[in-house]
A and B are shown apart, each in its own frame.
Chain A
Amino acid sequence: MKSCPFATSIDPYLQNELSGKEAERFEAHTFDCPSCYREMSERHLLLEALREGGSALFSRPVRTAPAWIRAAAAAALVLLVAAGIALLSPRPHRPSEFAFTGDETVRGAALEIVGPAGPVGAAPERLEWHPLARAAEYEVTLSEAGKTIWTVSTAATEAGLPADVRTKLRPGVDYVWRVRAFAALGSFIAVSDPAAFRIAR
């Protein structure tokens, strides 16, 4: 059976994403369309139950992007660098636009990186970031061409690069790193923007 063309408006309507006029048009339509009304009322009940249960309904923390997607994103970033886009010039790190704390979404909170970023004279000894309220643990990943070459978890706001990792870092290669923050119960609360550094030849 072909579904009503208005069916695609159900979610945006319930999520308050429609403009006033669009919402009115959709509401008026539901007074005449039993299919859309039934779908909308059931979806509404489901969403109300999901919101009432909150994060407790989801027994484990939200995952970030799968490894291969993060790898692809990092690889794309490296390509951009190779194409001459000014990644190597020091730039302020734009904070992420959201972070999660408990059951609330706190827009504007951010996990900001201190450094290293951009060109560096030698293999850095440590990676550093600003502390985030409520973060109990940070997970740092360092990647080369989209492949994770080192990761560590720490409660501190810096992570020392082990000697064996530092010796593997080669001049002229872009290394991308990012930090994720977790609350005491292990829930993911924020992620930094990726930062890249390159050791001068």
Chain B
Amino acid sequence: MDSNHLARDLDALAARYRPIVGFKVRRALGGANPDWEDVTNEVLAQVIAKLRAGEFRGESSIGTFIYTITCRRIVDYIRDKTKVLRHAPEPAPLPDPAERAERKDRLARLTEALARLKPKYRDVLHLYYVRDLSREETARALGLTVAQVSERANYGCKILRRILGPSFFSISGRPGRLNNGMGKAGPR
């Protein structure tokens, strides 16, 4: 394989895994942490460097290989950050006006979609996801079994997703609370 071909393959791999690495990093660092993009880039740079160095020998899947690198980098980041935070916590950036408008529009769409949902699904979504009750507590509050809570939560989300349409889940590149930096693409 010539070097141009290899570079193209590695770029394609990085593009393919950027969303999933970004998801994992954001989840570990917290949604409001602005460093998630830098950490994601560092992970992908490490992946490419290790692939170039022949460190991936196919003993595991490429996904597991990248996952391992991601976890290690997150641990390093948290360790380093903890040292810094002992002295001066960094303030989170303020959301910009366009982001606020986008967020408002999305919440309006969500309100409308929820209004179209049957009460039996709305009640479960409200208690389980918004009030953050456990499945058992939700089941007791609504007179359901735990299995019914799981089914209704799952099915309620699927109906919501259908009502909201794909545009609700394809977001521009701006980081923000409703934007987890993940486009629709994932590992293929």
A-contact 0/1 string along B99-116, CB 8 Å cutoff: 000010011001100110
| Contact flag A53-B178 (CB < 8 Å), given A27-B67, A41-B23, A46-B157 | no
Contact B123 A31 (CB under 8 A): no
Cβ-defined contact, A59 with B115, below 8 A: yes
Known: A64-B142, A105-B133. A49 touches B106 (CB 8 A): yes
B153 touches A11 (CB 8 A): yes
Number of interface residues of A (CB under 8 A): 46
Q: A57 contacts B107, CB within 8 Å?
A: yes
Could you tell me if B20 and A37 are in contact, using CB atoms closer than 8 angstroms?
A: yes
CB proximity to B under 8 Å, residues A23-38: 27-28, 30-34, 37-38
Determine if A31 and B137 form an interchain contact, defined as CB atoms under 8 angstroms apart.
no
Residue of A nearest to B153 (CB): A11
Q: B2-10, B51-59, B84-92, B124-132: which lies at the A interface?
A: B124-132
Q: Which of B66, B126, B128, B144 lies in contact with A58, CB distance below 8 A?
A: B126
**Cβ A43 vs Cβ B157 within 8 A:** yes
Is the pair B169, A63 in contact by a Cβ cutoff of 8 Å? Answer: no
A58 near B114: Cβ-Cβ < 8 Å: yes
A27-B126 in contact (CB<8A): no
Q: Which of A42, A51, A66, A70 has the most CB of B within 10 A?
A: A42
B122 contacts chain A at the CB level, 8 A cutoff: yes
Q: A41-B19, A45-B180, A65-B142 in contact; A51/B187 too (CB < 8 A)?
A: no
B119 within 8 A of A: yes
Residue of A nearest to B143 (CB): A65
What number of B residues sit within 8 Å (CB to CB) of A?
Answer: 57
Q: Mark A71-93, 1 if CB is under 8 A from B, else 0.
A: 00100000000000000000000
Say whether B180 contacts A63, CB under 8 Å: no
Q: Please tell me if A54 contacts chain B, counting CB pairs below 8 Å.
A: yes
Q: List B160-188 residues whose CB lies under 8 Å from chain A.
A: 160-161, 164, 168-169, 171, 177-178, 180, 182, 184, 186-188
Residue B150 CB within 8 A of the other chain: yes
Are A69 and B143 in contact (CB-based, < 8 A)? yes
Is A62 touching B141 in the complex (CB atoms < 8 A)? yes
Q: Does A122 have its Cβ within 8 Å of any Cβ on chain B? A: no
CB distance A31 to B126 under 8 Å?
A: no
> Of A58, A63, A69, which is in contact with the most chain B CB atoms at under 10 Å from its CB?
A58
Q: Cα distance A57–B107 when bound, in Å? A: 8
User: Is the beta-carbon distance between A98 and B137 smaller than 8 angstroms?
Assistant: yes
Q: Mark A131-168, 1 if CB is under 8 A from B, else 0.
A: 00000000000000000000000000000000000000
A28 and B63 contacting across the interface, CB-CB below 8 Å:
yes
Is the beta-carbon distance between A53 and B126 smaller than 8 angstroms? no
Cα distance, A54 to B132, chains bound together (Å): 11
**Sample of 11 more A-B contacts, CB < 8 Å, known A28-B64, A32-B64, A46-B157:** A11-B153, A31-B187, A41-B182, A49-B107, A49-B110, A52-B103, A57-B107, A58-B130, A62-B141, A97-B137, A98-B141
Chain A residues near B (Cβ < 8 Å): 11, 15, 17, 27-28, 30-34, 37-38, 40-59, 62-66, 69-70, 73, 97-98, 100, 103, 105, 191
